[in-house]
Structure 1
Amino acid sequence: MPTIRPPQSSVHTSRRNLNRLWFAQSTSLVGLQAGSVAVPLLAVDVLHANASQVALIGTLSTLPWLIAPVIGTIADRANRKRLLVVSHLGRALLWLSIPAAYLFGVLTLRQLWIVTAMVGVLSVVFGVGYRTFLPTIVPKADLGSANGKMGGTDAVARSAGPAFAGYLIQLIGTVWTILVQTVTSLLAGLSTATIRAEHVPPSRPDADQQSMRLVEWWKSIVDGFRCIYRIKPLRWLAIGETTYLFFFDVCFAIVVVFFRSDLGLSAAMIGVVFSAGSLGGILGATLANRLRARAGFDATVKTAAVLRGVGLAVLPLSLLVSGPAVIAVLIAGRAINACAWSVYEVLTDTYQQTNLPNNRRGSATAASLWLANGASTIGAATAALIATAVDTTVLVTAAGIGAAGAGFISLLVNTTTAHPSGSSDTE
């Protein structure tokens, strides 16, 4: 009897769609990572912002995650591909407004804050939409390798984006470097638009697809949080991620100020630190599934959770050395953080995608991201509030220690007794 194989056309379509989503994610993330250097330096060098005002940029970029549950509910009902296209093209227009305003002499910090917040809203759409769209175009058996590929892209973007931005800032200035984000967002939108994926709304026999009542939307949002809570591994992963991201954003809301003011690094060197350190993320994404196969999911995730915090704690040690050793310490700390974070994200994203039902994937994913990015917002806001009263070095050091400590929450994760669906380890 001949072996039954998937139609070649189906395999080809799946591979083509993944490649186009991968390209869209790649270009978009390069722009976002370039912006992580360009936007704060634009505030400092052109608009003469202080540490608190720079930290406010980080706060406003993450504040829109408070509406993530609503976006997740929409993603469970709307065309997810269309949501991604809108998020990319919308961000392209918003970034374009910054050099346009500068050209006419009307650029202000207030506009920078508004653009950051609005881009943040569209980033929520992208973050939820991408994670819920991927399982609809890739077979479940291939999700691990697909997430590894996407995680590698994220690591490459973290590596190339800041360095590219740093050198481009040296060459043409911070304002015109923002155009990189416009171009990359535009390319990402066009690539996503070419994905051929049929939109099949999740079936909901107890709800009218055409007219959702407010109570049904609220129930969907609550159900998303219930999904995360009832699957124990996802519950503890969410708590650990939430705690870690609070301390991470306390650190990264002011880390550019730390590099610039405390260490005296140039824009180009700041880019080098981010980029060279982020090469560790490429290694982590590449090795994530191999490490899981060798050591198991639990052991790999727990180790990665602790090490990514340790990487942040290494950064302030650069003050104890001098000369080239300063850059070496910073790169080492960033490399440890990025490598461990890539391993963690590839494995936890795959675990979550394979354990959540399609008709709750959007709301549950959004619930998880809401918790994590809500903590990011609070962390950035905390940095903004106390940056003028607490020395930058002290704040970065405390945040690094807190991030390392947060990794130990992952010790409570146990998936070894759970069925792949998560049903045997739920409450």
Structure 2
Amino acid sequence: MIRSFRTPASTPRHNLNRLWFAQSTSLVGLQTGSVAVPLLAVDVLHADASQVALIGTLSSIPWLIAPVIGTIADRANRKQLLVVSHFGRALLWLTVPAAYLLGVLTLQQLWLVSAMVGLLSVVFAVGYRTFLPTIVPAAELGAANGKMGGTDATARAIGPAFAGYLIQLIGAVWTVLVQTMASLLAGVSTAAIRSDRRTAPRLDERAPRLTEWWRSITDGFACVYRIKPLRWLTLGETAYLFFFDVGFAIITVFFRTTLELTPTIIGVIFSVGSLGGILGATMATRLRAHAGFNSTVKTAAVLRGIGIAILPLSLLAPSHTLTIAVLIAGRGINACAWSVYEVLTDTYQQTTLPDNHRGSATAASLWLGNGASTIGAALAAALATTISTTALLTTAGIGAAAAGGISLLVNTTDSTGQADEATQPELTADHDEPEPR
């Protein structure tokens, strides 16, 4: 029997602040690492392009088992999963400067660390999305997701520049310590969250059978499919991420070789454009309140694709200044609309999915999206030798805008994005009460 108890009235706000701080520090660490680790491989270990590319590949491979992570999130304590993901990444990053001091640092270690950190990053991505609804009232989820989205956009805007400054100041090896400290702080902050034990999934004392694992994974995909608005949102997101990564994989080459921009200008375009993401995260809930969930999410889905389609139009600009202005505008529109879309769809998903399948369903949608991203990037790499970067980026923009059209099929039950009982999935089994045989 579960013992009931009351939590202080201020706990939800304090818990959100602790989770927000953990997410913020974790994202700063990840953005720092996205620059520090490849440069460490090049400057310290003298890696070539293919060896550096393998770092990103290995860190992405764990997304293949995201549905398994989601199933674990439905069975285990989600707060503990987040704590393990933070402290685990801190220990992994700490091995890099330690090995360097001992004179035994190798590319093989860097690859292994990247793969293990990638696995724990999947745990974090699934865990915080499923844990947030257990510590924040449903009516406040939109604002909470907006706060999280704003942090994500801020980290993407300032993280690479911050990392570049640190690397120049203290070197890539010691910049990795920033990732270690960030993960440690995130772990401590998450551990301090006082969650209501009634919200945690109940653990089955017996070890789950293989058939139960498989059923839980398929139930996650069933949730995504049977809730019609979520089905179309996930399909649109998957298609968009495929085309986005087709363009993103070659966009730096387009900037550098086709437009002949300097590295400084390229950095400015990414950073200034990313400010649109902060604006979008801040405006998302207000836009939904003004125009309704359906209209806002559909507009955002189309606009983020149009933002990519604008980028190759910079070739038509009559001056260098206008070229940069077009690029910043395109990137800004994309980032702003994407933040609006992510905040609203995350909130919709969190308030619609049943708690005992929230982890597996969230992982299912993330698996589809990240799988499409990987395929898109690989396709761009394969085609870049025979097709110009301008043609690839133009195709990516048109495809991303068309993917936004899929969202036009979304029709929730009301303007807030809440689903009624008719939209809830009827699954084949429940973890707490197995289907009678």
**Normalising by structure 2, what TM-score?**
0.85
Moved more, 285-294 or 383-392: 383-392
Map Cα deviations across residues 41-91 of structure 1 (whole Å, 9 max, x no partner): 5556664543x6655544433321111111111111111111111111222
- For 2:161, the equivalent position in structure 1 comes to 163
Distance 1:17 1:358 in 2: 19
Moved more, 112-121 or 413-422: 413-422
Matched, 1:244 2:243: no
Distance 2:57 2:34 in 1: 13
- For 2:295, the equivalent position in structure 1 comes to 299
Shift of the 307–189 alpha-carbon distance from structure 1 to 2, 3 Å rule, reads: same
Map Cα deviations across residues 202-222 of structure 1 (whole Å, 9 max, x no partner): 358xxx443211111111111
Distance 2:66 2:322 in 1: 42
Instruction: Give yes or no for contact 2:91–2:180 (8 Å, CA) kept in 1.
Output: yes
Matched, 1:352 2:349: yes
* Residue among 269, 274, 281 paired with 1:273: 269
- The one-letter code matched in structure 2 to 1:340 is A
Moved more, 115-124 or 335-344: 115-124
Distance 1:30 1:150 in 2: 13
Superposition pairs for residues 260-409 of structure 1, below 5 Å? 260=256, 262-263=258-259, 268-321=264-317, 323-409=320-406
- For 2:72, the equivalent position in structure 1 comes to 74
- For 1:4, the equivalent position in structure 2 comes to none
Map Cα deviations across residues 304-356 of structure 1 (whole Å, 9 max, x no partner): 11111222223334455554444433322221111101100110011111111
Instruction: Give yes or no for contact 1:167–1:268 (8 Å, CA) kept in 2.
Output: no
- Any unmatched runs of 5+ in structure 1? 1-6
- Deviation (angstroms), 1:163: 2.4
Instruction: Give yes or no for contact 2:76–2:201 (8 Å, CA) kept in 1.
Output: no
Distance 2:235 2:244 in 1: 14
Query: Which portions of structure 1, spanning 4 or more consecutive aligned residues, are displaced by more than 6 angstroms?
Result: none
Matched, 1:202 2:201: yes
- Deviation (angstroms), 1:269: 4.2
Shift of the 188–294 alpha-carbon distance from structure 1 to 2, 3 Å rule, reads: same
Superposition pairs for residues 35-50 of structure 1, below 5 Å? 35-41=33-39, 47=46, 49-50=48-49
Instruction: Give yes or no for contact 2:77–2:201 (8 Å, CA) kept in 1.
Output: no
- For 1:186, the equivalent position in structure 2 comes to 184
Shift of the 116–393 alpha-carbon distance from structure 1 to 2, 3 Å rule, reads: farther
Shift of the 43–267 alpha-carbon distance from structure 1 to 2, 3 Å rule, reads: farther
- Deviation (angstroms), 1:373: 1.2
- For 1:154, the equivalent position in structure 2 comes to 152
- For 2:429, the equivalent position in structure 1 comes to none
Distance 1:319 1:171 in 2: 36
Distance 1:394 1:44 in 2: 30
Instruction: Give yes or no for contact 1:20–1:195 (8 Å, CA) kept in 2.
Output: yes
* Residue among 189, 210, 213 paired with 1:214: 210
Matched, 1:226 2:225: no
Instruction: Give yes or no for contact 1:417–1:425 (8 Å, CA) kept in 2.
Output: no
Shift of the 19–274 alpha-carbon distance from structure 1 to 2, 3 Å rule, reads: same
Aligned-residue RMSD, C-alpha? 2.9
Instruction: Give yes or no for contact 2:413–2:419 (8 Å, CA) kept in 1.
Output: no
Instruction: Give yes or no for contact 2:7–2:196 (8 Å, CA) kept in 1.
Output: no
Moved more, 103-112 or 163-172: 103-112
- Deviation (angstroms), 1:143: 1.0
- For 1:117, the equivalent position in structure 2 comes to 115
Instruction: Give yes or no for contact 1:159–1:278 (8 Å, CA) kept in 2.
Output: yes
Distance 1:354 1:29 in 2: 24
Shift of the 146–84 alpha-carbon distance from structure 1 to 2, 3 Å rule, reads: same
Distance 1:178 1:31 in 2: 8
- The one-letter code matched in structure 1 to 2:270 is F
Shift of the 83–265 alpha-carbon distance from structure 1 to 2, 3 Å rule, reads: farther
Instruction: Give yes or no for contact 1:315–1:334 (8 Å, CA) kept in 2.
Output: yes
- Any unmatched runs of 5+ in structure 2? 426-437
Shift of the 155–179 alpha-carbon distance from structure 1 to 2, 3 Å rule, reads: same
Instruction: Give yes or no for contact 2:76–2:202 (8 Å, CA) kept in 1.
Output: no
- Deviation (angstroms), 1:411: 1.0
Map Cα deviations across residues 66-120 of structure 1 (whole Å, 9 max, x no partner): 1111111111111111111111122223334444555666655554443332222
- Deviation (angstroms), 1:381: 2.6
**Normalising by structure 1, what TM-score?**
0.87
Distance 1:239 1:425 in 2: 17
Shift of the 31–416 alpha-carbon distance from structure 1 to 2, 3 Å rule, reads: same
Corresponding residue SS for 1:253:
helix
- Deviation (angstroms), 1:405: 1.9
Distance 1:376 1:340 in 2: 18
Distance 1:24 1:271 in 2: 26
- The one-letter code matched in structure 2 to 1:17 is N
